[in-house]
Structure 1
Amino acid sequence: MAQQHHETTTGTGTAGEALTAYLQDQATEFLRSLRLHRESSTDAQGAEEALAAACSLRRAARRIGGTLHTFRPLLDEDWSASLRPELAWLSGTLAQEHAYESRLARLLDALHRLSGPPPVPATVPAPAAATVTAIGKRPARRSGRPLLDRSRGRGPGEAWVTAEVPVTNGESGPPRGLAVGAAKAAALLERQLTLARTRAHSAALQALGSSRFHAVADNVAVLASEVPFNGATDGLERLAGTAESALAEAVAALPLGQAGHPYNAGALVHGLAADTAPDAQDAPWLKVRSLLRLHRYAQEVLLGHAPPEPRIADASHALNVHREASAAAAAAAQAARTPRIAPATAYALGVLHADQRHDVEAARFAFQQAWLHEETRTW
């Protein structure tokens, strides 16, 4: 592989200046995270440090791979074409353990919220057909960005939810079938997803010790010292514009008009289809998420460490929630297909699946609000 100096010029200045700085920063972060992962101990604190290092390693690999994809006309073709799929393999392998852990936490949180507290005797007898409105705060599923509020698409930190709860014989609470089945559904999900997480952890450790990974690390180490340009004269701005155009085209293909109506039930109805294949309706949204990520990385190359505009950050967050909820719904459906489970367990898993598909719909609404209305919103 012929490596050329990165000061090839374009009409806008040095072709590789910003690109070189960005790629070398990410390569340095990759190598630093790898060192921290190898130096982590085997106790509980060391396990946390190893997990954090693996996350940083995955983020750096993802950014390098995405940048190589967007700006491939400027780089050595054979080198970038061989490294990109290897980085995708690595980031995908390292992402699985965290994904299963987050999915289990999301589903158990939803089951707890849906099943509610055990019935408590009322101090004042209520009519058999009476209802009360239960109002409370939904517990945060994750730290960081706020939850989505299904009534508005997103919420200010903690989303308020209301539900009509039947009051019968002086007791209030969720339907008895859901309360009975929720515990067994939680145990089934925990068993299945914990096993999947354990396998993903073993696969990640095996990958990090493989000759395939060492070859990737060697290439990244070369990248940290010199970026292999091919002498092309295409400008960074034009290639970043191409990534933005691809994103705009994919967004235009989304049913944003339908997503702009809360509770349109499109995601839920499709999720209840008898077909057990992956949800084809989610595929265009997942594609937009990938293209939005490439656009963000291209902007990072051009703008350095400047934070993304709020519109892009909110849209990215909505699509991340969309993917998490879609995967969680699929996990609930898969658990419901377990042979010989009790009807109450299957019922609880069905309610859980519908709840997660509603979250998919809420995420689409939040994306539509961020993408189309953020620029005109006044604060």
Structure 2
Amino acid sequence: MAQQHHEMTAGETLSVYLQDQATDFLRSLRLHRESSTDAHGAEESLEAARALRRASRRIGATLHTFRPLLDPEWTESLRPELAWLSGTLAREHAYAARLERLLGALHRLSSPPPPLPGPSAPASPPGSSAPPSPSTPPLRGGYPPPATDRWTGSSPGAPLPAAAPDAASTAVGRRSAGRGGHPRPSGAESGGGWAQPPADGADTSRPRQAGLPAQGSAKKPTGPLAVGAAKAAALLERQLTLARTRAHSAALQAFGSSRFHAVADNVAVLASEVPLRAAPDADLKPLAATAEQHLAEAVTALPLIRAGHPYNAEALIHGLATDTAPEAQDAPWLKVRSLLRLHRYAQEVLLGEAPLDPRLLQAGQALDLHREAADAAAAAASAARTPRIAPATAYALGVLHADQRHEVEAARFAFQQAWLREAVTAP
């Protein structure tokens, strides 16, 4: 039998992608409902919620990029609802990850540096793990050494080395679970200041954790903390755990609302039939090229030249000016992150099962780290504005804020390196 080759039209290609994402949405919703009723399905419930968010983002982005080929009234009514659902489901995970990041940074900042070997130290045998020598200073946060580093002589265009994880930040252990699965601090941490009197925070009540899965709680690094850092950790834990509890309650209310059921019904219709316009000569490539052009214009507005120099302190400029100065500085980078996602999802529609450009994925990962570090810095600054906190606590939160702004700067450098390599090698 002769094999017949059928080249899909633009409408068919778009329909196949949207139907696949809608099927993933419905499958994730079914798994989430089944795991929510199971007492041991907390991890499956979290994974199903993440898959539900991924499908919602891709459907909404595809409807936005290729809206001229779709029914306009149906598209404009579904896109905001998908954005609402994705944002509602993302908050709980974001608060848990933010707390884990901040507690890990506090332990890393409180740990003493590893001792360097003396000049007469014996050489390590091949294959053994030895501490870094003075001629190879350790990297931090994904930074390479400066371009004029007298130790290594590396250049800004050199490939980024893999950042070795800190011993303090990777020493993460699970403790005995408290109420709702949240780990309780050990005796050493309690004595170091985990449980502090009400003078170090306005809200000292423990939030109710009845419905939170244990796997979603933030992990606490081990090791003692100084008094100021321990009080800062306790304050951050109270505030972010309370915010996470409220986000979890909002997600549960969203799943039971008529608004969510309307979104699920529309996605179920999308899984069977995509409302396309009658456009036989339509083409997906010009619309995808428009998304790429918007991304390129947004990247042009970024200070990439300054971000290309390590340790440029761009992320700390105007840090003491006003409360909104860091957020205004991060806004162009967050806009690029959103446009990069639109461009990446448009490429998924065009390429199908073909792999995406790895440099595009590296740039997206750098911007994801940028947002996480920026949000963590904002959380540290918000905790530092709590009334009646001790000076040592405020100082620890200030150091933590500066550390996360340095991570923002490192993410900008990583994005600049990945983006320029992509621009040079692109055909």
2:344 corresponds to which of 293, 296, 310: 296
Is contact 2:360-2:422 (8 Å) kept? no
In the alignment, the residues of structure 1 paired with residue 320 and residue 60 of structure 2 have an alpha-carbon distance, to the nearest angstrom, of 36
What's the offset of the Cα at 1:157? 5.3
2:408 corresponds to which of 360, 363, 366: 360
1:184 corresponds to which of 223, 231, 241: 231
**Aligned residue for 1:60?**
55
Is contact 1:111-1:352 (8 Å) kept? yes
In the alignment, the residues of structure 2 paired with residue 290 and residue 303 of structure 1 have an alpha-carbon distance, to the nearest angstrom, of 20
Q: How is 1:15-94 mapped onto 2 (pairs within 5 angstroms)?
A: 15-41=10-36, 45-94=40-89
In the alignment, the residues of structure 2 paired with residue 310 and residue 272 of structure 1 have an alpha-carbon distance, to the nearest angstrom, of 38
In the alignment, the residues of structure 2 paired with residue 311 and residue 328 of structure 1 have an alpha-carbon distance, to the nearest angstrom, of 26
CA 1:238/1:13 → structure 2, altered by over 3 Å: closer, same or farther?
farther
Correspondence 1:370 to 2:365:
no
In the alignment, the residues of structure 1 paired with residue 380 and residue 400 of structure 2 have an alpha-carbon distance, to the nearest angstrom, of 7
Is contact 2:288-2:347 (8 Å) kept? yes
Correspondence 1:111 to 2:158:
no
**Aligned residue for 1:320?**
368
Per-residue deviation, residues 24-48 of structure 1 (Å, max 9, x unmatched): 0000000000000111145663111
Give 3-state SS (helix, strand or coil) of 1:45's partner: coil
Moved more, 97-106 or 147-156: 147-156
Structure 1 length-normalised TM: 0.82
In the alignment, the residues of structure 2 paired with residue 294 and residue 118 of structure 1 have an alpha-carbon distance, to the nearest angstrom, of 42
1:252 corresponds to which of 300, 324, 336: 300
What's the offset of the Cα at 1:137? 8.5
AA partner of residue 225 (structure 1): S
1:193 corresponds to which of 240, 249, 255: 240
CA 1:150/1:187 → structure 2, altered by over 3 Å: closer, same or farther?
farther
Is contact 1:315-1:366 (8 Å) kept? yes
* Larger proportion of strand: 1
**Aligned residue for 2:162?**
156
In the alignment, the residues of structure 2 paired with residue 194 and residue 226 of structure 1 have an alpha-carbon distance, to the nearest angstrom, of 42
Q: How is 1:162-241 mapped onto 2 (pairs within 5 angstroms)?
A: 179-232=226-279, 233-241=281-289
In the alignment, the residues of structure 1 paired with residue 50 and residue 10 of structure 2 have an alpha-carbon distance, to the nearest angstrom, of 31
**Aligned residue for 1:273?**
321
CA 1:210/1:231 → structure 2, altered by over 3 Å: closer, same or farther?
same
Per-residue deviation, residues 215-265 of structure 1 (Å, max 9, x unmatched): 000000000001000113431011000000110110011110011111111
Give 3-state SS (helix, strand or coil) of 2:32's partner: helix
What's the offset of the Cα at 1:155? 4.0
What's the offset of the Cα at 1:283? 0.4
**Aligned residue for 2:199?**
none
**Aligned residue for 2:212?**
none
What's the offset of the Cα at 1:202? 0.6
Is contact 2:236-2:383 (8 Å) kept? yes
Runs of 4+ in 1 over 6 A off after TM superposition: 132-138
2:378 corresponds to which of 324, 330, 342: 330
**Aligned residue for 1:98?**
93
CA 1:277/1:368 → structure 2, altered by over 3 Å: closer, same or farther?
closer
In the alignment, the residues of structure 1 paired with residue 283 and residue 86 of structure 2 have an alpha-carbon distance, to the nearest angstrom, of 28
Per-residue deviation, residues 183-226 of structure 1 (Å, max 9, x unmatched): 11011101100110111011011101100000000000000001
CA 1:274/1:26 → structure 2, altered by over 3 Å: closer, same or farther?
same
In the alignment, the residues of structure 2 paired with residue 41 and residue 311 of structure 1 have an alpha-carbon distance, to the nearest angstrom, of 37
In the alignment, the residues of structure 2 paired with residue 149 and residue 325 of structure 1 have an alpha-carbon distance, to the nearest angstrom, of 15
Per-residue deviation, residues 63-100 of structure 1 (Å, max 9, x unmatched): 00000000000000000000000000000000000100
Is contact 1:270-1:281 (8 Å) kept? no
Is contact 1:137-1:160 (8 Å) kept? no
Is contact 1:149-1:160 (8 Å) kept? no
Is contact 1:260-1:368 (8 Å) kept? yes
Is contact 1:259-1:368 (8 Å) kept? yes
In the alignment, the residues of structure 2 paired with residue 154 and residue 340 of structure 1 have an alpha-carbon distance, to the nearest angstrom, of 44
How many residue pairs get matched? 331
Is contact 1:73-1:234 (8 Å) kept? no
What's the offset of the Cα at 1:275? 3.1
In the alignment, the residues of structure 1 paired with residue 277 and residue 165 of structure 2 have an alpha-carbon distance, to the nearest angstrom, of 51
Per-residue deviation, residues 116-162 of structure 1 (Å, max 9, x unmatched): 15999xxxxxxxxxxx9897787xxxxxxxx623647954252579x
Sequence identity percentage: 75
- List alignment gaps of at least 5 residues for structure 1: 1-11, 121-131, 139-146, 162-177
In the alignment, the residues of structure 1 paired with residue 301 and residue 423 of structure 2 have an alpha-carbon distance, to the nearest angstrom, of 20
What's the offset of the Cα at 1:16? 1.0
AA partner of residue 369 (structure 2): V
In the alignment, the residues of structure 1 paired with residue 289 and residue 391 of structure 2 have an alpha-carbon distance, to the nearest angstrom, of 54
What's the offset of the Cα at 1:49? 1.1
Moved more, 255-264 or 70-79: 255-264
CA 1:110/1:50 → structure 2, altered by over 3 Å: closer, same or farther?
same
Give 3-state SS (helix, strand or coil) of 2:317's partner: helix
Structure 2 length-normalised TM: 0.73
In the alignment, the residues of structure 2 paired with residue 271 and residue 203 of structure 1 have an alpha-carbon distance, to the nearest angstrom, of 33
In the alignment, the residues of structure 2 paired with residue 335 and residue 20 of structure 1 have an alpha-carbon distance, to the nearest angstrom, of 47
AA partner of residue 27 (structure 1): A
